Amino acid sequence: MSRFRVAITDHVFPSLDMEFEKLNEIGAEVFLCKDTQPQGLVSELKDVDAILNCYVQLNKTVIDSLAKCKIIARYGIGVNNVDVKAASDNNIIVTNVPDYCISEVSDHALGLIIALARKIIQVNQNAKSGFWSFESSRPIFRLAGKTLGLVGFGNIARSLAKKANAIDLKVIFFDPYFKGGLEGHPGLDKCATLDELLAQSDFVSVHTPLTEETSGMIGLAQMKIMKPNACLVNTSRGGIINEGDLLVALRDSVIAGAALDVLANENQVESSPLINLENIILTPHCGFYSEESTEELRVKALNEVISVLTGGKPRYQVNRA
């Protein structure tokens, strides 16, 4: 008889061999959920000891039904798809992996900034269509000396700041929760308000988690504060930028361009009017991905589950209180 039951709600990996192998070693029975809706999850998860979760929503109804679960370990950094308060109320540990894919996402954000600045997507499409000219992509401005504004100053934003400095971008940031010093970030300036950052930036890159406070925090009013030649980049979470307002801002040239790796509803991308605009770059929530980061993510999430089930302490507990 198995010592533990561990459920995997969903995943994006080629296989779950690693999960089954590592958890079997501690005597755990492992299974992949068949249903991703609350009613089905309540039935499937009622007697599990641990949950590994990717994108499926674990709301209060689901969490309140967990009779013996000790830990919900998320494959990722953000935990906006898990009701952390409900988990805390039920004495369930919630963990994430806050220190993976830092290099990948900061690379991706910088790549999007360069692609927007140099209009690489547009000129590539023109060249492949036989239009060997850059005339239609005017104007293109020099990157060196421009200002990059970071909304949020966590690990990924700090990594991006160093890379941006290396190509002579001036970097500023807004993060009301950042209380540390700026050692290791020479020349970096902190803005007192979001509006101050938006007004100064040539590129705005979003790196804040999606919470009630940050949901829709950048809408048309904020985009109107930005420079007409400025561009907006989001590699964090869809929902932080109001996509309806972004459509208006891009269509009416309130701002020059945008690049999004995340959308508010990534299951219905084909119906988003943003896909018809020429001055936006869309990538399919792949900023986190590399072979190395994927393995790191899985190992660290698994280690949290194994540690808690075998009497140890988690390394990345979100709800410490």
List, in order, residues 6 or more apart from 173 with CB less than 8 Å away: 149, 150, 151, 152, 153, 157, 161, 188, 189, 190, 191, 197
Identify the domain containing residue 261 by its residue range. 102-282
The span from the CA of 283 to the CA of 266, in Å, is 11
Q: What is the pTM of this model?
A: 0.90
Q: Decide if 316 is inside a domain.
A: no
Assess whether 79 and 107 both reside in one domain. no
Same domain as 150, residue 20: no
With contact defined as beta carbons under 8 Å apart, do 180 and 157 qualify?
no
As for how many domains the chain has, the answer is 2
Residue with tokens 């936006």: 280
Question: How many angstroms from the chain centroid is the CA of residue 123?
Answer: 28
Whether 28 maps to a domain, the answer reads yes
Low-confidence ranges of the chain (pLDDT < 70): 1
Coil, helix or strand at residue 321: coil
**Residue positions annotated with a catalytic role:** 237, 266, 285
Integer Rg of the chain from CA: 22
CB distance 171 to 197 below 8 Å: no
- pLDDT, tens digit, 9 for 90 and up, residues 199-210: 999 999 999 999
Q: What is the pLDDT of residues 264-318, one digit of tens each?
A: 999 889 989 999 999 999 999 999 999 999 999 999 999 999 999 999 999 999 9
Rounded CA separation 36/56 (Å): 6
Please name the amino acid found at residue 191.
Answer: C
Question: How far is Cα 278 from Cα 124, in angstroms, rounded to an integer?
Answer: 13
Query: Residue 298 maps to which CATH number?
Result: 3.40.50.720
For residues 11 and 108, membership in a common domain is answered with no
140 and 250 in a single domain? The answer is: yes
My answer on whether 186 and 274 are in the same domain is yes
Residue 77 in domain:
yes
pLDDT at 1: 62
Distance CA 289, CA 313 (A): 28
Asked if residue 314 belongs to a domain, the reply is no
